[in-house]
Structure 1
Amino acid sequence: MITDTGVPKFEKHEFSSKNNRYCLCIPIINEGNRIIKELLRAQKNDIDKIIDIVICDGGSSDGSTDKRILANLGVNTLLIKKDKGKQGAQLRMGFYWALERGYQGIVTVDGNNKDSIEDVPRFIEKLEEGFDFIQGSRFISGGQAVNTPLLRYLSIKLIHAPIISLTAKRLFTDTTNAFRGYSKNYLLHPKVKPFREVFSTYELLAYLSTRASQLGLKTCEIPVTRIYPQKGKVPTKISFFHGNRELLKILINNMRGKYNAD
């Protein structure tokens, strides 16, 4: 079913069997109390009852992946990457494991407690309706962008979203948002091939934002909420200068078709 060799080495800890048609992959690394709070919110809203929650850990060392704690918080499975690569590698690990386990689709969300994990049912509804790529957006009707840093807002509106929309040949409004849904059909499409080592950092997010509509698959945006803290350091893994420079490079490479499968 998956013929590519670009799947990182990883170990798995399954706290429960497969209980639902879809799984929620949450890539994290040293998110501390933020992921705990997010999982508590998910549990409070019975998200763990309607979708299997999978933590895709990049090698946390802060105690946030304690197996007993995660199991008590409704996590179905913990995957721990034992290989090179960053977020892209964590997602390849999670996607591979999920497809091998037989899930019909995958929802992803960041693990820093900024996103409205309560909106997961909306993604499930769209997957059930046959959509192949569902992008969560705080910028469409019904969505909420709270305390978004001005530079982040401007970079999305003026750079990231226009380039992604041009590449995808359709309008997307919140293209840095990793709160998304992917169908099994999309991830296994012969012209997608996400299991390649070129997807090491943020390449896979950009690529999967655009490839579905390029191939004529069914795509949509749905409203979500993203809340940044009023005070303190913004929870992000992207450095302002180097990180944003690399993101721009990825956007240009993606627009040029560098990541497209044969």
Structure 2
Amino acid sequence: MAKPSDKTLVIIPTYNELENLPLITSRVRVAAPEVEILIVDDNSPDGTGQAADKLAAEDANLHVLHREGKGGLCGAYVAGFRWGLERGYTVLCEMDADGSHAPEQLHLLLEQVDAGADLVIGSRYVPGGEVVNWPKNRWILSKGGNLYISMALGAGLSDMTAGYRAFRREVLEAVDLDQLSNAGYIFQVDMAWRVVQAGFDVREVPITFTEREIGESKLDGSFVKDSLLEVTKWGVAHRSQQARALFDETVRLGRRSVENFRKKHLI
């Protein structure tokens, strides 16, 4: 019997990942030889795009999408999603190029999709998840930020900033990709939040996140302020909507009670 994961595309955005690219693609090939890979390169000045083309020439299941400039991670994933949806993939995955997302754990995400999940997040902060080679202050910042996001939105997820994900195509077709926020890395939270609000089955599986060994992180400190400010706005709006819905329902029930009373007593 066919499974959703039988036609899986792993999307790997790149910008100056010349050394990491052959390492991550070879690991995916060994760990999950049945999946296809899409490299989305943002015109890397170090030649990553050209290296990706060479890999694609040797591997029919490895594809390359070149973008004109450094358009950011959100834009790269959206471009990759659209590329994959147009070509009929049933599961589309996000994976970092730097090795922080272990291809050897991809099966954990795909198994949950095949078991009925619509979105599976590889989580650092559920039991069994861990982070390797992070300084303590960065772990506290990430863990604390995710706790705040969880409380602000009430989504019931432990790691909404995580970038190791597997989506059923139906989820990506239902979300307006043009409306995703690209403030810092907040689009990961935005996407997960939209999926939860739409009523899809969202699950987390524990993964080991390992800090990159080669190259420099694309993350800077501004993402924390930008992201948490954005989340605060969403949380306030969500609570306001909940309060309004509760008020409207109370009014509706009150009117019904009055009408029933009048009918009963022929007022």
| Coarse TM-score class (shorter-chain normalised) | 0.7 to 0.9
1:178 aligned partner: 163
Matched, 1:31 2:31: no
Q: Residue 8 of structure 2 aligns to which amino acid in structure 1?
A: Y
Count of aligned positions: 232
1:236 aligned partner: 217
Percent identity (aligned): 23
Query: C-alpha distance in 2, partners of 1:171/1:148?
Result: 25
Task: Please say which structure displays the higher CA radius of gyration.
Answer: 2
Runs of 5+ unmatched residues, structure 1: 1-18
Choose between structure 1 and 2 for higher RCO, CA contacts under 8 A separated by at least 6 residues. Answer: 1
SS across alignment from 1:195? helix
**Which of 147, 153, 159 is 1:162 aligned to?**
147
Q: Residue 185 of structure 1 aligns to which amino acid in structure 2?
A: E
> What's the offset of the Cα at 1:211?
1.7
Query: C-alpha distance in 1, partners of 2:134/2:181?
Result: 30
Query: C-alpha distance in 1, partners of 2:211/2:182?
Result: 27
> What's the offset of the Cα at 1:140?
2.4
Query: C-alpha distance in 2, partners of 1:134/1:166?
Result: 20
How big is each residue's C-alpha offset from its partner over 1:164-208, in whole Å with a ceiling of 9 and x where there is no partner?
32355333223332001111121112xx31134754753421211
Runs of 5+ unmatched residues, structure 2: 239-267
Contact 1:25–1:106 (8 Å) recurs in 2: yes
> What's the offset of the Cα at 1:105?
1.9
| TM-score scaled by length of structure 2 | 0.76
Q: Which protein has the bigger helix share?
A: 2
Contact 1:24–1:107 (8 Å) recurs in 2: yes
> What's the offset of the Cα at 1:73?
6.4
1:215 aligned partner: 198
Judging changes above 3 Å, is the alpha-carbon distance between structure 1 residues 152 and 209 closer, same or farther for their aligned structure 2 residues? Answer: farther
Matched, 1:99 2:85: yes
Q: Structure 2 matches for 1:35-74, cutoff 5 A?
A: 35-45=21-31, 47=32, 49-65=33-49, 66=51, 67-72=53-58
> What's the offset of the Cα at 1:109?
1.0
**Which of 75, 80, 92 is 1:89 aligned to?**
75
Query: C-alpha distance in 1, partners of 2:104/2:60?
Result: 14
Query: C-alpha distance in 1, partners of 2:154/2:180?
Result: 26
